[in-house]
Structure 1
């Protein structure tokens, strides 16, 4: 077995260990070709509807979800430990067929369901199909995403059935007949906004990311990052951060990005002198930030566009400054750690040639197309379709990027496989949204948060943050955003209606993402530690320190929406806030890493943290005070403090 294949196997094993989404069957036998045919068909369906126009939601959604359920039951075993068992058992084939039947039942009975059934009521067969469809969706989600989201959705279903008996948040109550048909046949639950967005936009962007990886266009980003930053202090870690930011623009998965980029960058960081835990943390924090990096961001950003009414083309512009602040914070942390340990850059001869990279600059054209079309007002569907076509054409011009016929077929099938966990999560999150809608739970939760916080601005934000992080420890980002946007975000908007809607939704979005690097459940950091051979929990704590900006920035842009280019923001009003926030990130990073111009003691760390908070708070006099503190600590270290003998741990 050659080295590249062995590395690919090890990568897949690591992904399966830390992320349920990648725990698929290894020995499919004859089912392999069945899965390829279904996967290719699903991708062609989405490309076709992107070109010709999507079907009504109760046709597009069931085809999207039903085909995905078939693939999930064929690919994902009932138990994670069974991935190495040969073939697909008969009962999973049966479940795959039932998944198709229950969803396509809506397609073939579309006219009756959307007209007569809604007015005259559903028949016995409808009730059987709805019940079976919900059960199959929950089981498929358990296999492809994990148990926590299924538990959450099940609790909401129980609330829908028995909520009339619960004090404070009671509702009128529903029978199972009412609830099951409401969840499965209407457009405000399983086939609501999450699955509609998944079928129209998310699938195409995920396929676009797969295409870039399969054609090795993605490797261009790695080479570019190393060429630009590799020669500076701590160059390997800075290059890893830059590469993950660039890769994250087109992948949008914390764990997958950590393992994909980390298998290359983490060993390099270790060889340069970084500790295993820090190498894992640097990769994990940068990879997690990929979901907030325009132009593609994570899947939840597309749903945000539907929830807020803000076009996706505007969201990618709004997200630029927060993303820059986030990655600046990680970059500062890496820099101070490298200075503290005396880790220099990589020699020029070991880095990719800038001249060689410029010869391949056309490889960035697919991203130029996608950004250009979005900013020109084209729909995300249209932009993704053109970007996919551009990437495919560009790949034909070089031997190393050109795909054979079989590789093209595999890429189409891989696009479907990559989308399966997102599709399942969107469908199950739709159950939560449906229950919140029909029971009025969202308003009750919002009222409870306001009452608990006594209408205090920062307490409401804090409780919302906790909800997003706690949910994010068990739910994928997309489902987490859907739940918190339905339940917690309204509390902020109810108490403080002057805050722009997009600022509140970005707040929720950010904290759902950083759960991947928040101890004790920090899957991206655990995956990085698996590559680095470091302690998982220490890696998680380090990642938390490096990504501290993500825990501060959302508070800033809610308090000062100009950072999101809201409230009549201009260059003159945004620039000072951005600069002081950047300096604040640097001060806090220096404190957490224990180094400014020399190693810091506890007093200096406290002063730097205070300075950082003052700098990021949108107030001119606070910022001046924070800057004075930073300058004071720096001058003291530079001119009055002797260098410590030993490097602190």
Structure 2
């Protein structure tokens, strides 16, 4: 074994430990014997089925999505217990539900042509029974994989479909019969709508890609690369957390999952160099949430955005690049200020992966480079993702320790399907909410309300839209949070005259930020579990660390140059002023400016300057510069007074 390999921060043993910790955090069963073999066979067949259909033999969309849901439901019912106290054996109820989803899929296959005309219009009694059974199974697998939040929210929306005739104002609608409603929601406008479409085509593909990255050693290289680059800096492990969570989180699909996976490594190291446990957990949570907005994959949210808006995928990732970098820059400033205040140092160079060894293995970035290159060259998302998967396989053959033979390929396919289960369930349940919104027209009514507020004050309308997006997203994975918020809030922003992509990016960012917004901050709670800290207090700290991310979306409207609109000079100026504004905001939050602790007055001045820099306008830039000059002079005056007081005390002594 070479010296570089010995110095790999993320050893195979550590990787296994991380996986075990993530497993313990869930209600997953430890499958054994014939059941485990069946699980592996079903997972491999499911993964290959999707790859073959997507690349070579397309089938009817409804049939494809129903088979996609069937594979996910069967695997979920086998893998996840009905409760934390449930036995390790697959229960009779689980087998009954598995037979139920198989029956539903067969029913859709055999009656496909007629169901297209019957569902939601003139359903039969059997149609209604199949739809109801399907909804029960979808809600159950979502509850097992993601908790009660999303099923309860979906149930509230279902109740609204029937209570609408009795509600006042914008919530009123004419109501629907049970048969028509349940078959509509379990059709192509609900469960099998745009969210499950994205899950079946894009999310599954890129989660399998992430599994191949992990099995081929590329995922481990990302973390080694982050450690070699930033581990030796002051407060190094925190900066490693920012880098590695961005690289790994964009393919993870959930902020909480990313926080557990990378946090089990970075949080103990952050505590070792002096960060308090709560700050360490909050840093990991904030960075993990940011992984959901990191290009080019953006935690699968970009795929849903492309489907909903009709905007080409590569246009979305180009527009999202600068905002994503600004987000991670803000988190970097936060942890750096904390390190300066606490006098922290990085890890010793001897404990870090060799820079020379890491750069020698730079070829491990090839799958990501190929993916980005293919997307920007105009190839389809499916073709680009498939090429990236094949690239991982080929790259693994260059590194003997990670060479992927048949066994590892099977493990990667199984891991990919296993990691897809939660997002698949979430997308199916989110489809229920999206379907109710479309059926009742409540989204259009919210749009009218936002438009009315905008007539009074555009900023107030944006703040209102932000609050709704965060509230709707609390307790939900990013993909579901965005899908719901995009149906309720985005149309209202568009009606206010905000460009389509800007409106959806605004909503998407705040859907992501709901993962670190108390009182229900999923990513912060997950990281707190790893660190052993108080979840709510960790959520408060994560909110503070990510505060700049609550400002960035407003820049989309006031500084459209940040989304690559306008001239090169205008874009460059907007990026520079936005970066400076984020620096001042981080300084205000952390109370550190001009190499000294900042008092209340200086903090207020810094916040004022940061807000002025939101707008890419030379007048506001000049005002911000004036405010900063005042802050610097005031800071020096306060320091001079302190120095004079110290001198007087010394002279008296």
Equivalent residue, structure 2, for 1:341: 342
Instruction: Rate the CA distance shift 1:7–1:249 in 2: closer, same or farther, 3 A.
Output: closer
Instruction: Rate the CA distance shift 1:448–1:29 in 2: closer, same or farther, 3 A.
Output: farther
Instruction: Rate the CA distance shift 1:15–1:602 in 2: closer, same or farther, 3 A.
Output: farther
Equivalent residue, structure 2, for 1:473: 474
Aligned residues of 1:221 and 1:243 also touching (Cα < 8 A): yes
**Superposition pairs for residues 1-40 of structure 1, below 5 Å?**
8=16, 12-13=20-21, 17=25, 22-40=26-44
Separation in 2, partners of 1:356, 1:426: 41
Equivalent residue, structure 2, for 1:571: 568
Deviation of the 1:242 alpha carbon: 1.4
Aligned residues of 1:250 and 1:296 also touching (Cα < 8 A): yes
1:268 equivalenced with 2:269 (yes/no): yes
Equivalent residue, structure 2, for 1:89: 91
Equivalent residue, structure 1, for 2:145: 144
Deviation of the 1:636 alpha carbon: 5.1
Deviation of the 1:13 alpha carbon: 4.3
Instruction: Rate the CA distance shift 1:54–1:234 in 2: closer, same or farther, 3 A.
Output: same
Equivalent residue, structure 1, for 2:611: 613
Uncovered stretches (5+) of structure 1, i.e. residues with no partner: none
Of residues 69, 73, 76, the one that matches 2:80 is: 76
Which string of whole-angstrom CA distances, capped at 9 and with x for unpartnered residues, describes residues 399-427 of structure 1?
A: 22223433322221111111111111111
Query: Which stretch has the larger CA shift, 97-106 or 524-533?
Result: 524-533
Of residues 610, 621, 627, the one that matches 2:625 is: 627
Instruction: Rate the CA distance shift 1:113–1:409 in 2: closer, same or farther, 3 A.
Output: same
Equivalent residue, structure 1, for 2:191: 190
Equivalent residue, structure 2, for 1:483: 484
Count how many residue pairs are aligned between Structure 1 and Structure 2.
631
Aligned residues of 2:212 and 2:393 also touching (Cα < 8 A): yes
Which SS does the other structure have where 2:613 is aligned? helix
Of residues 25, 38, 45, the one that matches 2:49 is: 45
**Superposition pairs for residues 156-195 of structure 1, below 5 Å?**
156-168=157-169, 169-185=171-187, 187-195=188-196
Separation in 1, partners of 2:36, 2:79: 9
Separation in 2, partners of 1:119, 1:137: 18
Aligned residues of 1:517 and 1:524 also touching (Cα < 8 A): yes
Which SS does the other structure have where 1:86 is aligned? coil
Separation in 2, partners of 1:570, 1:401: 46
Equivalent residue, structure 2, for 1:103: 105
Please, what TM-score do these two structures have when normalized by structure 2? 0.92
Deviation of the 1:90 alpha carbon: 1.2
Separation in 2, partners of 1:502, 1:100: 39
Equivalent residue, structure 2, for 1:310: 311
Equivalent residue, structure 2, for 1:506: 505
Instruction: Rate the CA distance shift 1:467–1:251 in 2: closer, same or farther, 3 A.
Output: same
Please, what TM-score do these two structures have when normalized by structure 1? 0.92
Equivalent residue, structure 1, for 2:541: 542
Which string of whole-angstrom CA distances, capped at 9 and with x for unpartnered residues, describes residues 576-611 of structure 1?
A: 111111111111111111112111122221121112
Aligned residues of 2:81 and 2:88 also touching (Cα < 8 A): no
Deviation of the 1:637 alpha carbon: 4.2
Instruction: Rate the CA distance shift 1:246–1:638 in 2: closer, same or farther, 3 A.
Output: farther
Aligned residues of 2:191 and 2:428 also touching (Cα < 8 A): yes
Which SS does the other structure have where 1:190 is aligned? coil
Deviation of the 1:152 alpha carbon: 1.8
1:380 equivalenced with 2:381 (yes/no): yes
Aligned residues of 2:123 and 2:180 also touching (Cα < 8 A): no
Deviation of the 1:262 alpha carbon: 1.5
Which string of whole-angstrom CA distances, capped at 9 and with x for unpartnered residues, describes residues 182-210 of structure 1?
A: 2223x221111111111111110111112
Separation in 1, partners of 2:119, 2:249: 43
Equivalent residue, structure 2, for 1:519: 518
Separation in 2, partners of 1:368, 1:592: 36
Equivalent residue, structure 1, for 2:457: 456
Equivalent residue, structure 2, for 1:286: 287
Which SS does the other structure have where 2:251 is aligned? helix
Separation in 1, partners of 2:240, 2:273: 12
Uncovered stretches (5+) of structure 2, i.e. residues with no partner: 1-10, 646-653
Deviation of the 1:119 alpha carbon: 11
Equivalent residue, structure 1, for 2:135: 134
Deviation of the 1:7 alpha carbon: 7.4
Equivalent residue, structure 2, for 1:562: 561
Query: Which stretch has the larger CA shift, 23-32 or 554-563?
Result: 23-32
Query: Which stretch has the larger CA shift, 248-257 or 301-310?
Result: 248-257
Instruction: Rate the CA distance shift 1:449–1:29 in 2: closer, same or farther, 3 A.
Output: farther
**RMSD between superposed Cα atoms in Å:** 2.3
Aligned residues of 2:76 and 2:141 also touching (Cα < 8 A): yes
Instruction: Rate the CA distance shift 1:618–1:119 in 2: closer, same or farther, 3 A.
Output: closer
